[in-house]
Structure 1
Amino acid sequence: MTEEKKSWRGKPRPGSGARGFHKGTSKPAPRRPGLPPEGPILLYGLHTVEAAFANKDRKRLKLYATENAVNRLQERGVKIDVPIEMKRPKELDRMVTKDAVHQGMILEADPLPAYGPEELRGARLVLALDQVTDPHNVGAILRSAVALNADAVVTTERHAPEEGPVLAKSASGALDMIKHVRVKNMARFVTVMKDQGFGCIALDSDGPASLEDTEFTDKTVLVLGSEGKGVRQGVREACGLLARLDMPGEIRSLNVSNAAVLSLYVARIKMGL
């Protein structure tokens, strides 16, 4: 079905992520999940904005900021290559959701390109998330993946957060520092990666061995699933290798973002990275 972009007076509001509307209705037109949001998005917070200015793949449009925030960016060596519109803090508050910590700066920018598996040439350590939907968790995982020097984070197109202010803020700049690859079918992606020489390990509480006791290859994909459901059966079968994270304390399971940190740390040690 053809999408027609209607709006408030002809164009979507900057940063609203507004989708096209069906002619004669107020409901959004359908859009294939997993694609970047339509129209510009708003990125806010010091680390998020600073990383967006440093990313050559990020198309930046306009900076809304207080004078102090502009000075702070410049003191940190950020080259501001877009028009600046000076704003008071309360004006910035009205541009974002309640309780959003913008630190005096909001960058209007286009979403990042929709990276595909071809971005993984030369990768050694990849973290894949099977239908992890919470943008706070995915943002935290992106941040940890950068800290532990993973090559990419892979999510499914459906049942995964699209790029937006909450994901970007939770990632604290990491969204612009690591490739975020989106795939249509996680089981098929795992199969392709195995054909390319990757060992694929699904984290599962019923895994036959701990991750520390699991044999790693020199190229590895770690697959984590959503809280509650875990890695789906078809994806586990595609991996072929299951491992568990053994916890010595009374609580035996971890939040998925914490499990990602521990898994990446163990993987780096086992792979000699």
Structure 2
Amino acid sequence: MAGNSQRKGAIRKSSKGNPTAGSGGRVRRGLEGKGPTPKAKDRPYHAAHKAAKRAEKDQARRPKRRTSSDAEWVAGRNSVVEALREGVPVTALYVGEGAERDGRMREAFQLAADRGIKLLEVSRSELDRMTGGAVHQGLAARIPAYEYAHADDLLDAAAVNAEKPLIVALDQVTDPRNLGAVIRSAAGFGAHGVLIPERRAAGMTAAAWKTSAGAAARIPVAQTVNLVRQLKAYQEAGCMVVGLAADGDVSLPDLDLADGPLVVVVGSEGNGLSRLVSETCDQLVSIPMANQLESLNAGVAASVALYAIAEARR
């Protein structure tokens, strides 16, 4: 019947799944937009975002700088005076109660005062405990834990000065005095740092500091968990790796790699270079000697090689 709104199908009901149809709501929401366009690095499929993610992973893989496990002690009047004279980074001087004030003690006090090092008086028993029972003669100096550089920092040091890298790496050198001597030579002949293994090698102890004659404060020393792997990383970065060996294929004066990016590997006096390190080197270099039975310790060998390289680079 016409006009009968009660008959079935006379009224068109809206769909439950589309409540905004006919109201314009959907169109309005589409026109509102989604806010400002995200930065390129925040868009998952943008190249800048992927590059940022790669950089984060690289940074996470790069280990933090390591420090030696604990502070060290220099015990004894002569040793303390020598450490202060050589610029070892002493943080405090400890004097035993009732210790006799002789000339060495007074010199230690004066050197400490000149460098602003605090002076503390403790009981004899406390000084025994702190120095682990060493013969301290009533005087000891505290040296802070050494902060090692990262191996890549040595390349960065060369890049900052727009210079070709020159790095000294030590293999199986366990005498801290040899380490100190190498550091001193490296600083004197323009090297950008010294690389040492984390295990089975000398570290930056008080003896190494003292032998370096203060050079350890001017040149970075880096530690690596795996020396062979790090040498290969240096090779990938464009450095040639040469090892000092008595039976080397090339004599040091004939080394034609000296003026390029270079890593010089020095082994111990007794064992020389380890097999894997020797196989990793691009070239093995010998130092000419008047007598084949003579040998040089690591500190002297490094000094001779660095001098020759410095001369070739001039």
The answer on whether the counterparts of 1:198 and 1:217 sit within 8 Å (CA) in structure 2 is: no
Q: Which runs of 4+ in 1 moved over 6 A?
A: 91-94, 96-100
1:131 paired residue among 172, 175, 187: 172
Distance in 2 (CA, whole Å) between partners of 1:134 and 1:110 is 20
Q: CA deviation at 1:156?
A: 0.7
- Given that residues 209 and 243 in structure 1 are in contact (C-alpha distance below 8 angstroms), is that contact kept between their aligned partners in structure 2? yes
Instruction: Return the match for 1:145 from 181, 186, 192.
Output: 186
**Which has the higher Rg, Structure 1 or Structure 2?**
2
Which amino acid in structure 2 is aligned with residue 126 of structure 1? Answer: I
What amino acid is the match of 1:229? N
Give 2:111's aligned amino acid. Answer: R
Paired residue secondary structure (2:148)? coil
The secondary structure found in structure 2 opposite 1:144 is helix
Mapped partners of 2:120, 2:305: distance in 1: 43
Tell me the equivalent position of 2:110. Answer: 71
Q: What CA distance in whole angstroms lies between the structure 2 residues aligned with 1:99 and 1:152?
A: 34
Q: Which residue of 1 aligns with 2:13?
A: none
Q: Is this contact kept in 2: 1:128–1:224, CA < 8 A?
A: yes
**Secondary structure of the corresponding residue to residue 173 of structure 2:** coil
Q: How do residues 33-52 of structure 1 correspond to structure 2 at under 5 angstroms?
A: 36-43=67-74, 45-46=80-81, 48-49=83-84, 51-52=87-88
Contact 1:200 1:239 in 2 (8 A): yes
Q: In structure 1, what is the Cα distance between the partners aligned to 2:292 and 2:273?
A: 23
CA contact (8 A) 2:148 2:220 kept: no
Q: Say which of 146, 161, 166 aligns to 1:112.
A: 146
Match among 235, 239, 249 for residue 194 of structure 1: 235
CA deviation vs aligned residue, 1:159-188 (integer Å, no higher than 9, x gap)? 102332333333333333321111111111
* Equivalent position SS for 2:250: coil
Of 240, 243, 247, the residue aligned with 2:285 is 243
1:212 paired residue number = 253
Match of 1:233 among 246, 268, 275: 275
Superposed displacement of residue 249, structure 1 = 4.1
What SS does the aligned partner of 2:141 have? Answer: strand
1:136-178: per-residue Cα shift (whole Å, max 9, x none)? Answer: 2222222222233322111111110233233333333333332
Seen in structure 2, the aligned counterparts of structure 1 residues 252 and 67 have a Cα distance that, compared at 3 Å, is: closer
| Shift of residue 260, structure 1, vs aligned partner | 1.0
2:87 alignment partner, SS class: helix
Decide which moves more: 215-224 or 161-170: 161-170
Distance in 2 (alpha carbons) for counterparts of 1:106 and 1:146 = 28
Unaligned runs of 5+ in 2: 1-64, 96-104, 159-164
Indicate how the Cα distance of structure 1 residues 145 and 245 shifts in structure 2: closer, same or farther if over 3 A, else same: same
User: Secondary structure at the residue paired with 2:157?
Assistant: coil
The structure-2 alpha-carbon separation of the partners of 1:213 and 1:99, relative to structure 1 and needing over 3 Å to count, comes to farther
Gaps of 5+ in 1: 1-33, 54-59
Structure of greater relative contact order (alpha carbons < 8 Å, 6+ residues apart): 1
TM-score, length of structure 2 as denominator length: 0.62
Higher helix share: 2
Give the structure-1-normalised TM-score.
0.70
Partner of 2:31: none
Q: Give the 3 Å change call, closer, same or farther, for CA 231–97 of structure 1 in structure 2.
A: farther
Change (3 A) 1:46 1:178: farther
Check conservation: 1:201, 1:220, Cα contact below 8 A.
yes
2:268 maps to amino acid: S
Shift of 1:98: 6.7
Q: 1:73: how far off?
A: 4.6
Task: Count residues in correspondence.
Answer: 226
- 1:165-215 Cα offsets, whole Å, 9 max, x none, are 333333333333321111111111111111112121111111111011011
Residue 300 of structure 2 aligns with an amino acid whose one-letter code is N
Q: Is the 8 A contact 1:47 1:173 kept in 2?
A: no
**Structure 2 partner of 1:13:** none
Quote how far apart the aligned CAs of 1:79 are: 3.6
SS for the counterpart of 1:129 is: strand
What secondary structure, in the 3-state scheme, does the structure 2 residue paired with 1:222 have?
strand
| RMSD (Å), alpha carbons | 3.2
Q: Do the aligned residues in 2 keep the contact of 1:48 with 1:173 (CA within 8 Å)?
A: no
CA 1:167/1:175 → structure 2, altered by over 3 Å: closer, same or farther? same
Alignment pair present for 1:122 and 2:157: yes
Looking at structure 2, the residues matched to 164 and 137 of structure 1 have their Cα atoms a distance apart, in angstroms, of: 12
Q: Give per-residue Cα distances to partners, 1:78-124, cap 9 Å, x unaligned.
A: 343xx31258xxx9899588788x9x974313211132212211332
